[in-house]
Amino acid sequence: MIKVSASDFKKDFDKYLASFVEEEIIIVQDGISVAKVILLEKESIVEKLRGIIPDDGFTVEKVRRERLSTI
């Protein structure tokens, strides 16, 4: 993760544009984090759905055992 001031990000945008492919960039203004720049495809579907789908108690191991018990 790279933290950069808003003015530096604006001034060196090309440099940071190449950087965010490797790691996320946090833009800071007046000591407060105001933005997070990430590569969209890097974010997994799980992270996108976190908080939207309620936790139903299922785990991969529970589902695997249940599935194998029906064979």
What is d(CA 67, CA 5) in angstroms, rounded to the nearest whole number? 51
Q: What is the pLDDT of residues 8-38, one digit of tens each?
A: 989 988 888 887 777 888 999 999 999 988 8
* Residue 6 domain boundaries: 2-69
Q: What is the pLDDT of residues 27-71, one digit of tens each?
A: 999 999 999 888 776 656 666 666 666 667 778 888 888 888 876
> Which CATH number characterizes residue 35's domain?
3.40.1620.10
- Count of domains observed in the chain: 1
Note the pTM of the prediction, 2 decimals. Answer: 0.53
pLDDT at 3: 92
